[in-house]
Structure 1
Amino acid sequence: MRRWMGVPVAAVMLTACVTINVYFPAAEAKEAAKEFVEKVIGDQAPATAPLPEPAKPGGGLGAVRPQASASDVSRLAARIDWLSLVGIGSAYAQSPDISIKTPAIQAIQSRMASRFDSQLRAHFDSGALGFTNNGTVSVRDAGKIPLGDRVAVNQAVADQGRDSAAVYREIAVANGHPEWEGQIRQVFARQWIESAKGGWWYQDAGGGWKQK
Structure 2
Amino acid sequence: MPCRLVLLALFCLPLLATASGETINLDIGTPPVIVVKHSLAQRTSRLVRFYEAGVIGLGHDGMIKLRDASRLNLAQRQIAEKLIDNENPDRNSLIYALAEAHGGQSAEPAARRAQVRRWHEQFHSGWWIEDARGNWLRKP
State whether TM-score is above 0.5: yes
Find the aligned partners of 1:128 and 1:143 in 2 and give their Cα distance.
Answer: 8
Find the aligned partners of 1:96 and 1:180 in 2 and give their Cα distance.
Answer: 9
Structure 1, gaps ≥5 residues long: 1-26, 31-91
Find the aligned partners of 1:177 and 1:156 in 2 and give their Cα distance.
Answer: 28
| Conserved 8 A contact 2:24-2:110 | no
Higher strand proportion (structure 1 or 2): 2
Whether 2:100 is the aligned partner of 1:113: answer: no
Q: Secondary structure at the match of 1:143?
A: coil
Task: Please point out which of 174, 181, 187 is paired with 2:114.
Answer: 187
| Conserved 8 A contact 1:123-1:145 | no
Whether 2:58 is the aligned partner of 1:131: answer: yes
| Conserved 8 A contact 2:56-2:67 | yes
Find the aligned partners of 2:110 and 2:134 in 1 and give their Cα distance.
Answer: 19
Match of 2:72 in 1: 145
Query: Considering only aligned residues, what root-mean-square deviation do their CA atoms show, in Å?
Result: 2.3
Q: State the 1:29 CA deviation.
A: 3.1
Match of 1:211 in 2: 138
Task: Please point out which of 29, 42, 45 is paired with 2:16.
Answer: 29
C-alpha offsets along residues 157-197 of structure 1, whole Å, 9 cap, x if unaligned?
01110001111011101121321212211222222122211
In structure 2, do the counterparts of structure 1 residues 137 and 97 end up closer, same or farther at CA, with 3 Å as the change threshold? closer
Match of 2:94 in 1: 167
Alignment of 1:24-103 (within 5 A): 28-29=15-16, 98=25, 100-103=28-31
Q: State the 1:100 CA deviation.
A: 2.2
TM-score by length of 2: 0.78
TM-score by length of 1: 0.53
Q: Aligned residues: percent identity?
A: 25
Counterpart of 2:31 in structure 1: which amino acid?
P
Structure 2, gaps ≥5 residues long: 1-13
Find the aligned partners of 2:59 and 2:51 in 1 and give their Cα distance.
Answer: 12
Whether 2:49 is the aligned partner of 1:122: answer: yes
